[in-house]
Structure 1
Amino acid sequence: MTSPASRTGVGPLLRGWREQRRISQLELALRADSSARHISFVETGRARPSEEMILRLSEHLCVPVRERNTLLLAAGYAPRFTETALDDPSMAVVREGLERLLRGYEPYPALVVDGTYSVVAANRGLALILEGVPEHLLVEPVNAMRVILHPEGAAPRIRNFRQWRQHLLHQMNRQIALARSDELRALYEEVAAYPPPAGVDEEPYGAADPHEAAAFELGTFALPLRIEHGGQVLTFLSSISTFNTPMDVTVAELAIETFLPADPATAKYLTTALG
């Protein structure tokens, strides 16, 4: 039985990725040490690319690892990249490394998510700032976007909710463009339709509150997350890390997000709360 990808053929798929990246056949050929004529023949099905050519073109088109397997299958080749469950014994070194990293970052919040923002690991710092989120949003697998954007989740405590929501939706849109994931698209449509938490439209951003003024200053180089906990507003800057040159689909789709305290008061609060 042939897969839908193999029936479509690799040529139209490669052309779709090239057009999405807004790269001409000539530019792609120069990057991949080929010719525009050969690229044209591949895209129209007049030439069958080798495995190495598919992988080379995929690299220059920034095709996600999962989709590189799809391209190989469409050309009649076996997938090159495995997809190993994170709880598989062979992934022990990855799990242990991630857990060590999360523990080492405490008391500051950090988490690891997969390609659809399901949380696969988190530390005590994140658990602290998510205290009070209702159980129905914490049922496994916990989804980070649902927890943050749901009006019953963390959203009511995020002081710059409109800005943070816009940032997260933009981030998801960029990932959808890269990964072409139906599951991710469905998640985006779900969380984008959530109503804002009560009162968010009436709360001015950056008015008289000195903390808001500080947030604007931070926003000149990075948008802060400002979230209330225990009567205090905590301010964070976030960063996202991924694995270099992954050879497994699961590892390729993991992202580590860390939240750096953006002021001394936030750092002191977390250090005191978690010891």
Structure 2
Amino acid sequence: MSSTYAQKSVGTELKHWRAVRRVSQLELAVQAGTTQRHLSFIESGRSRPGRAIVIRLAESLGLSLRERNDLLTTAGYAPVFAESGLDEAALRPVRTALEQILHGHLPCPALVIAPYGRGVAANDAVELFTEDASPELLEPPVNMLRLMLHPQGMGPRVANLDEWGRHVIENLRARARRSPDPRLDAFVAELAGYVPQSPVGPDHLGFSVPMRLASADGELRLITTLTSFATATDVTLAELHLEAFLPADQATADLLRVRAERRNAAPSGSDS
């Protein structure tokens, strides 16, 4: 009974992911190095897939490491990708490397974000984003995406919140389409409520414009770079991404340098 249930479950999951990825049985079979007949038997529950073919199918579907583990579990096999805590010994070298990368981005803000916007590491320049923010939004663990768009966070200081916020939300929606997740859908809906719904004008170019952020030192224009860990074999690391904000003009570069010099000159323990 349990074997039949596993067969039906893995078949249902494969059909689900094929629909999400919009690939046919034949296309997936060719990519995974099997036959359409074999894949059809797996999806219908007439054949129990071996561990190797489940791994190949998951890879061919472009599933995340977490989703690959889930598919293996559904098929009756143990997960193959570890999920370590960032503070565990297995990821300590990675954590050290991330801290070095963050420091190397100074005087520009840079941070490491986990799923659903949770910040796990940042450099000192991220204080630019916490300026005048509500204390409730700064209680750890800080949700950086919420902080950036919330009306009691950065939202009122982003002069082009409608354009820049739309870019953030559309990126999340694209992720949700690729990996359907009710929790992510709810988070996107929350963030969308913070962003003004302005019509797309004739000058819209279809990609993100620099964020125009007001600060005590003047307006900064920042462009974003996103880095993911594409070859990671640990679920935790694969789900992180590094977000760095770079100056879009010389005036912003100068302001970031001034702020860094002021932080470095402040007495140890000072909040100024």
Query: For 2:260 and 2:239, how far apart are their aligned partners in 1?
Result: 30
What is the rounded CA distance, in whole Å, between the counterparts of 1:169 and 1:10 in structure 2?
32
Measured against aligned partners, the alpha-carbon deviations of 1:121-150 in whole angstroms (never above 9, x if no partner) come to: 011122223311111001111111210111
Deviations 1:133-180 (A, max 9, x none): 111001111111210111111000101100111111111111112232
Is the CA contact (8 Å cut-off) linking 2:163 and 2:208 kept in structure 1? no
The question of 1:233 aligning with 2:219 is answered yes
Q: 1:85: which partner in 2?
A: 85
Comparing 162-171 and 126-135, the one that deviates more: 126-135
Q: Aligned Cα RMSD in Å?
A: 2.4
Instruction: Return the TM-score normalized by structure 2.
Output: 0.87
Q: Which shifted more, 229-238 or 68-77?
A: 229-238
Name the SS of the counterpart of 1:99 in structure 2. helix
Q: TM-score, normalised by structure 1?
A: 0.86
Residue 223 of structure 1 corresponds to 209
In the aligned structure 1, how far is the partner of 2:138 from the partner of 2:8?
40
Taking the TM superposition and a 5 Å limit, the aligned residue runs for 1:1-275 are 6=6, 9-194=9-194, 196=196, 222-275=208-261
AA aligned opposite 1:14: L
CA distance, structure 1, for counterparts of residue 239 and residue 206 of structure 2: 30
* TM-aligned CA deviation for residue 49 of structure 1: 1.5
Quote the Cα distance in structure 2 between the aligned partners of 1:253 and 1:259. Answer: 20
State the alpha-carbon separation in 1 of the partners of residues 226 and 87 from structure 2.
Answer: 22
The alpha-carbon deviation at position 188 of structure 1 amounts to: 1.6
Instruction: Give unpaired runs (5+ residues) of structure 1.
Output: 207-215
Q: Which amino acid aligns with 1:258?
A: A
Q: Tell me if the contact between 1:31 and 1:60 (Cα under 8 Å) persists in the aligned partners.
A: yes
Partners of 1:26 and 1:8 lie apart in 2 by: 20
Where in structure 2 are there 5+ consecutive unaligned residues? 262-272
Length, aligned pairs only: 257
Aligned-pair identity in percent equals 40
